[in-house]
A and B are shown apart, each in its own frame.
Chain A
Amino acid sequence: MLSIEDVYKVAELAKIEISEEEAKKFRKEFESIIEYFNQLDEVEEDVEPTFQVLPLKNVFREDLPEKGLSREEALANAKHVEDGYFKGPKIVE
């Protein structure tokens, strides 16, 4: 069983503020979806997990300098910019 507190905890981990209404709705939906996920408990066969499907291993490229984005291009989509830098929220109070 998933409690309303569990839903708030997941929302906090995911850094998404949710309303009380949303929390109630998600709790109900998550319960049936997680119940559905729990079907996997029936799988007993123990095999190696597949993280990715192609037999690729350690794909490296030459470490060569190349032109990246200009400062102007990199900052073009940011709302808060100061002196040519991104401006973010406070991390330390």
Chain B
Amino acid sequence: MITIEEWKTKLESEKCYDLVSELLERIEKSKLNAYITVCKDALKKAEEFDRGNLRGKLAGIPVAVKDCISTKGVRTTCGSKMLENYVPPFDAHVVEKLKREGAIIIGKTNMDEFAMGTTTETSYFGVVKNPYDLSRVAGGSSGGSGACLAGNEAVLALGSDTGGSIRCPASFCGVVGLKPTYGLVSRYGLIPYANSLEQIGPMACCVEDVITLLEVIAGKDRRDSTNAGVEFKFKKTDKKFRVGIIKEMGGNDEVMVRFNEVVELVERDFEVGEVNMPSFKYALPAYYIIATGEASSNLARYDGVRYGFALDELDNWAKYFSKVRAAGFGEEVKRRIMLGTYALSAGYYGKYYLKALKVRTLVKRDFERAFSKYDLLIAPTMPTLPFKIGELADPLTMYKMDVNTVPINLAGIPALSLPAGFVKSLPVGIQIMGNYFEESKILSFAMEIESVFKEVF
């Protein structure tokens, strides 16, 4: 894995053009399938850097961007046949910011179709393979962003997280990934799946690089009406944090053995206690009701008229619309749109959607209570190690893999997945949660234990 510092050291003795060419060659030969589209422009940008014309905090650094984030003039597929040939006429806010800071956008990363999945197996462009075991998944939905970092195919990556889509691949690929507080990063230009839950966030090979990338992408943007309008500047906190272990977030034996070792290590330097979150029992069904409900409404825009997959013959509208969507969407997307449609249909609104929003209030309250006692909460990011490709065929079994990650999105708090070494040669991640806009606490703590983990695991 390549950190910003390592890349900058290389830039002192080598041309950016040569380094980027090498990176592009590696991507070309790669078996990971981490990228859907590689940016032809990258070499031109590298030349610009070599001429001294590319400046900023990320000058000359190759960054991979998840393919649900709009890039002007570069096709943005969202992992779907529906958008296979879609070329956005504008940049997402985060992409504007990357460009302003001199980053080299190296390519668009593979993902579950419309970010609906936990393994990247629903991508129209094929599954992303885990760099540590090619027969296993890299996680999802930002699987390409996780795999490209672990596979030395980028230095930084952007992902998006609706119910764990940054933290899951970070855990499965042994990299660091942060889902920021809802509203910290503008969603302008993020192709929507479930607006009230999702955030764009940074992924990198170390905590320090996550901080650098978050400082670049966070901040005010009036084009996203849910943007909190605050900037992010990391403040190192040396405080002795009080750390809570969430009883309701667990994992299988392989994961729990490592997690218990983590707890022992944390206990050496921090005050540690346990906390109960009774509402979490209902968090997963509530999440899937809200997410599929929002998806059914959001994805109504794909009508085969203004953009996206279209048929040659324009029929009557109901037939045309239904045929375009039948051919353009994959199975999981159809499943979620239909589930959401069902949950929102007449007679069911109160039973499902409204009830789920009430559970959301209960989840929020549980977190509020926990944060009145603890600065940070920890748990395993994923309940299992990366599974075999094709292992989870049943949708509900797959949904249940998100059990530790979705409560965070329901509440809108920030959470980071940090690598905690390997079990059976596969990466394991722990999840560190903080209160609203307390990313600095999470990141300070993560930096401290990152170095401990590197020594011990």
Contact = CB atoms under 8 A, between A and B. Distances in A.
B338 A77 contact: no
A53 B411 contact: yes
A33 B343 CA distance: 11
Nearest to B316: A90
A29 B343 contact: no
B239 to A, nearest CB: 25
Interface in B170-222: 182-183, 196, 222
A29 B395 contact: yes
B65 to A, nearest CB: 19
Contacts of B339: 30, 33-34
Contact of B196 (A42, A53, A87): A53
Contacts of B361: 47-50
A52 B364 contact: no
Contacts of A7: 338
A85 B115 CA distance: 31
A47 B396 contact: no
Contact of B359 (A43, A52, A56): A43
A29 B358 contact: no
Nearest to A34: B342
B310 A33 contact: no
Contacts, number: 171
B306 A78 contact: yes
B314 A13 contact: no
B329 A40 contact: no
Contact of B89 (A12, A16, A69): A69
Contact of A30 (B322, B342, B359): B342
Contacts of A33: 288, 339, 395-396, 399
Interface in B281-330: 281-282, 285-286, 288-289, 296, 300, 303-308, 310, 314-323, 325-326, 329
B360 A50 contact: yes
Interface residues of B, number: 70
Contacts of A3: none
A50 to B, nearest CB: 4
Interface stretch (B6-14, B253-261, B348-356): B348-356
A80 B286 CA distance: 40
Contacts of A1: none
Nearest to A52: B196
Contact of A56 (B86, B183, B399): B183
A18 interface: yes
Given A33-B395, A33-B396, A88-B317, A49 B357 contact: yes
B53 interface: no
Question: Which residue among A14, A41, A47, A76 has the maximum number of chain B CB atoms within 10 Å of its CB?
Answer: A14
Contacts of A69: 89-90
B228 interface: yes
Interface string A61-93: 100000001000110111110000011111101
Given A15-B318, A18-B326, A10 B358 contact: no
A45 interface: yes
A74 B305 CA distance: 12
A37 B285 contact: yes
B24 to A, nearest CB: 27
B305 A16 contact: no
Contacts of A46: 358
Contacts of A12: 322
A89 B360 CA distance: 40
B345 interface: yes
A37 B337 contact: no
Contact of B305 (A10, A37, A78, A90): A78
Given A49-B360, A89-B317, A17 B183 contact: no
Interface string B387-413: 000000011100100000000001110
Contact of A78 (B222, B307, B329, B365): B307
B396 A32 contact: yes
B325 A37 contact: no
Contact of A36 (B222, B285, B335, B411): B285
Interface of B: 85-87, 89-90, 182-183, 196, 222, 225-226, 228, 281-282, 285-286, 288-289, 296, 300, 303-308, 310, 314-323, 325-326, 329, 331, 334-335, 337-339, 341-343, 345, 351-352, 354-362, 364-365, 394-396, 399, 410-412
Interface of A: 7, 10-18, 22, 26, 29-30, 32-34, 36-37, 39-43, 45-54, 56, 59, 61, 69, 73-74, 76-80, 86-91, 93
17 contacts: A7-B338, A10-B341, A14-B338, A16-B322, A16-B326, A30-B342, A34-B339, A37-B288, A37-B289, A41-B351, A47-B358, A49-B360, A50-B358, A53-B196, A54-B183, A77-B86, A78-B307
